[in-house]
Structure 1
């Protein structure tokens, strides 16, 4: 994702259970992955971990599932092997937040100066001059 993701080469922690079922092998469990990115409100770095639960059926080559589903609808066993990478990638990517925040109550950036609100004093403000009256401000400044 653009704002947050699993760094390339990171180690994932897998706690998986593989069960033989009538149609194939059911893989269920959890994946713990480190996340790096930036807050969608204040643009500060985010370094955290996520735990994602997964459950995926890997169908036997000649099972009823193979006959009743499309090729890309269900994962397939390749002999005695199963490829977890696409399943893990899809599960983790779908669990990533679309707008990550460093904390739930992050106030973001000041819309005028672009400084994070957390770094600004409580009385921070910008004088907003109505553009329709801006010409009068110039007259007043020239009189002084």
Structure 2
């Protein structure tokens, strides 16, 4: 069963927990995805000063891969500035778009939630994703 946009947004929002450490915020972006097997995985971002952190989509995908699943049907990321602030749907960054693609070739057709009633595919968000042919 494919998750509705609203249910996937709610699953991501449920794990939002902005936490300030110095000038860095952890958990202010959360992601939820549903696989072709119908399982939902969630994760949050960890922003570090050294650049070793990762996006919420990476955390959700890591949970999925840990469970030996690779095909993403639909994914969403949400952001909340501080506890109690409104929740916003945010598109995946370029690094996340490429990461989704590299987990499984069929993930180019993953539906990316961009709002309650708006989606796009990774393929459309990541143009020219095919490797070029070798030069003669």
TM more than 0.5: no
- TM-score, normalisation: structure 2: 0.26
- TM-score, normalisation: structure 1: 0.25
Greater CA radius of gyration, 1 or 2?
Answer: 1
